[in-house]
Amino acid sequence: MTLRDVRDALQAEVLNGLEFLDREVYAVGASDLMSDVLAFGQPGLLLLTGLANIQAVRTADIIEAGGLVFVRGKKPDDESLDLASRKKLPLLATSLMMFPACGLLYEKGLRGLVQTVSPSPPAAAQDEVLTRAYDIAGGDFNKAGRVSIEIKEILQELGISPELIRRTAIATYEAEMNIVMYALRGRLRLDLSPRAILIEAADEGPGIADIGKAMTEGYSTATPEMREMGFGAGMGLPNIKRNADAFDIESALGRGTRLRIVIRLSGQGEEP
């Protein structure tokens, strides 16, 4: 189904991306919880959401969605529209509620996700180790996700395979959001070697009392404000582990948390 078909079926307004209306979308997913989208979203997905803020746009970009539809008459702000335009992400808006919108698309032949991904072969990385480090402020939801998008763009420029980029972007985004949501401040570091992508995230925060519980899907200590931003589904750390080839976490109460995320560029080879 093309985005033009989606527009007609939902009687939707095209907010940007008129030039992409002939783009094909292969499946539809609907959620207001961005961690769920990161966990199950796939490239080419049509995402329906009532979360009309920049985090929805950043999440759709991270999973490489084919298009984003805001339901319930919601519309994003100018900053979100600008980001979507730069990322070539078409945005539509419909007055329909989520359920009937999904039903109409189903009647037209668009189905839900099938959880299979065919990974692309990884491209060769640079000979030297590339390093980037970013300081992240706790509580700054307006800037949350910018670091993850910049790292994604770096990997795209270097020709890393799309599947590895997607996994890295999801893990990085969740790590960045954890700093923003729970810590006073933190730092996220990228090290890219010929063998692997290494992401390290360290924060100055309250620490995690029970790491085992925190790694359980559905467990969350998110505040109402965080949930309004589309987070708090208890999928953050599980999402990171799911997308990593190796994942370590250390935490000390009253001091903070450190994550080490490794995504290998080939099936073999040592970690950096």
Structure tokens given for 94: 């419909």
Distance CA 209, CA 175 (A): 18
Note the pTM of the prediction, 2 decimals: 0.71
Average pLDDT, the chain: 89
Which range of 123-137, 144-158, 225-239 scores highest in mean pLDDT? It is 144-158
Structure letter (DSSP) for residue 30:
E
Residue 267: pLDDT band with limits 50, 70, 90: low
Distance CA 91, CA 69 (A): 6
pLDDT value of position 269: 44
Task: Identify which of 29, 8, 17, 26 has the alpha carbon closest to the alpha carbon of residue 80.
Answer: 17
pLDDT value of position 3: 97
pLDDT value of position 224: 79
pLDDT value of position 236: 87
Domains, in order of start, for the chain: 3-107 (3.40.1390.20), 130-264 (3.30.565.10)
Q: Over the range 79-114, which residues count as b (16 or more CB within 10 Å of their CB) and which as e?
A: ebbebbeebebbbbbbebebeebbebbeeeebeeee
Residue 129 clears pLDDT 50, i.e. is over it = yes
Structure tokens given for 144: 């949350």
Query: Tokens 């920049």 correspond to what residue?
Result: 54
Distance CA 232, CA 240 (A): 15
Residue 230: pLDDT band with limits 50, 70, 90: confident
Residue 155 clears pLDDT 80, i.e. is over it = yes
Mean pLDDT within 20-37: 91
Range of lowest pLDDT (21-25, 146-150, 228-232): 228-232
